[in-house]
Amino acid sequence: MRFKKIQIIFFSIMLNICLVFNANAEAENECFEKVSRGIFKFNQVFDNAILEPVAKAYNKLPEPIKKGTGNFTSNSDTLL
């Protein structure tokens, strides 16, 4: 049992190392880097200006309203 845990940890570490090296290799060859950076900056501004204040306001709502909006969105989800 102990050997199996050590084996799982070892393979997890090896997988993470391989993924890091693969990500670094792909980052060097990315042809849409300028577009990606522009989209990232837009998303950051949109998140800070709109989504974060909406989320903070939503967290201050009473529980019945939160539950009602949650039910509404889950019900509309089942229609599709």
Question: Model confidence over 21-58: pLDDT tens digits?
Answer: 776 655 566 788 888 899 999 999 999 999 999 999 99
- What are the phi and psi torsion angles at 14 (to 5°)? -65, -40
pLDDT score for 27: 56
What's the whole-model pTM score? Answer: 0.50
Question: Where in the sequence is the domain holding 25, given as residue range(s)?
Answer: 1-30
Other beta carbons within 10 Å of 66: 13
Residues 21 and 42 in one domain: no
Model confidence at 80, pLDDT cuts 50, 70, 90, reads low
Domain count, the chain: 2
- What are the phi and psi torsion angles at 30 (to 5°)? -75, 125
Residues 76 and 59 in one domain: yes
Residues 20 and 52 in one domain: no
